[in-house]
Structures are given as C-alpha cells and as structure tokens.
Amino acid sequence: MSNSGVIIKHTTFRDNDEILTIFTPNGKISLVAKGIKSGKRRSLCEVGNWIDFDHVKGRAFNILTEVVLKNGFYNQKSKYPFHIFYLCELLSKFEGENEYEKYIFNLLVDSIGNLSNNPDLSIVFFNLKFIEHEGIMPDFFTCPRCHERLREDIQNVFYGGSIYHNTCADNSNSISVDCIKLMRFIASCSSYTDIKVSNDCLKESIFITCNLIDEFLGLTLKTLLYFK
C-alpha cells in the first residue's frame, strides 16, 4: 500500500458507490469506493478509521483499489463516536494553507488514540494545538487592552478571540480562572498529558476553543452540539 490516512467523510455517489474523503499526511484526498455499500469493505471504511490504501486515476475521479484497516478507531461499539465525528467534521471542512499536513495528521491520530484516557480533554488538546498551528492562539497571560497580566482574583472576559480583564472590555462572556489555567498548561505541553480537570472546566474550554476556530477559520460545526 502506498498511502495511509484517516477517513473523515463519506457521501453516497451512485447507488452502490461512495466518495470517501481521507485525511493523509499530504492533505486531503477524495476517492470513489465502488460497490462499497454491498461489499465487505463497508466496515473497513467507516468515518474515523485509519486505513492503508491504493488508488488509480479514473476519468473524472480517482478510484480506491486496495484497502487495509490500520486502526479501527471507529466501530459500532466505540464509546466515543461523537468525539471522533467532531474531529472528522472539523478536518473535512478545514482547508489548510499548504497541502502538506503531517502535523495535523499526527495530531488527529494521537487525539483519537487518546480519547480512551479522557475524551473531552483530548478534544481540548486537539483544538488548542490546532489553533496554535494555524497561528490564531490567544495570549493567555496578558490583557491586550492594558498590557497588564491577567489576574486570578478578578473576573476575566473572552471577546473577539482575546482574553481581557473584566474592566477592559465591555461584554459579558466571562472566562473562568480554571479554564485560563488549563489553556496555559496545554499551551506549554508538546503532547497530550493526563491531568485532573472538572467537567465544567472541560466543557467551557471546548466552547472557548471551538469559538476561536469558528471566529478565525469560519468553521461552524454541527457536531459541536454533542458537547452541550
């Protein structure tokens, strides 16, 4: 097999065929999988699975030929289908600047692999590392209005992709100190690290990071509903 990637989307294409969108270290590729709906390959080609594959050039579309399951991240008994669907939806809507996306690919397979540790924390890690890679990371230490350090004894607010002192921005989207501390911690880690965090803090962190991804990259995700 000459290619490897995670299936992030499948759509029906003619009666028995599907178009698979696969995220590879070289970016996304779309392939027609012929006869997949009635064949044995159906279970191999679920969204979220990591496959090795070959393809040939067709007249209008590239066509999947060989496929081998490398890691069946998704299966019917998976405990975290929503988290996997969120990651796959995000990357299916994301158009990277360059075609070479090895960093994002590795982040994706690491994050899916880490779901069994703490699924919500894995999503916050993914989101923040993705945000950092895309160059839209907010400053978690300094208020951009007054340039003083963000304090832990007064309320801070989140607005327009930045964090301000309550007194420096005129809006009501408060951000908790625990959430800021979690973001600072993750920003300092080079890879997923298990830590104890409350569920409320994780939900807030998912909301804040998804908000950044939506605001700067225009990615409004349906699967975000799963986390509410």
Binding site for Zn ion (CB under 5 A): 143, 145-146, 165, 168
Nearer to Zn ion, 139 or 200 (CB): 139
* Smallest separation, CB 90 to Zn ion (Å): 31
Nearer to Zn ion, 5 or 138 (CB): 138
Pairing of strands 17-24, 27-33: antiparallel
Dist CA 38 CA 15 (whole Å): 10
* Smallest separation, CB 223 to Zn ion (Å): 34
* Smallest separation, CB 165 to Zn ion (Å): 4
Q: Which residue is nearest to Zn ion (CB)?
A: 143
Instruction: Give me 15's structure tokens.
Output: 């009666």
Nearer to Zn ion, 142 or 176 (CB): 142
Dist CA 58 CA 110 (whole Å): 33
| Residues whose CB falls within 8 Å of the CB of residue 212, separated by 6 or more in sequence, listed in order | 127, 131, 136, 138, 161
* Smallest separation, CB 189 to Zn ion (Å): 27
Give the amino acid at 141.
F
Nearer to Zn ion, 147 or 196 (CB): 147
Strand 162-165's sheet: what is its strand order? 162-165, 156-159, 174-175
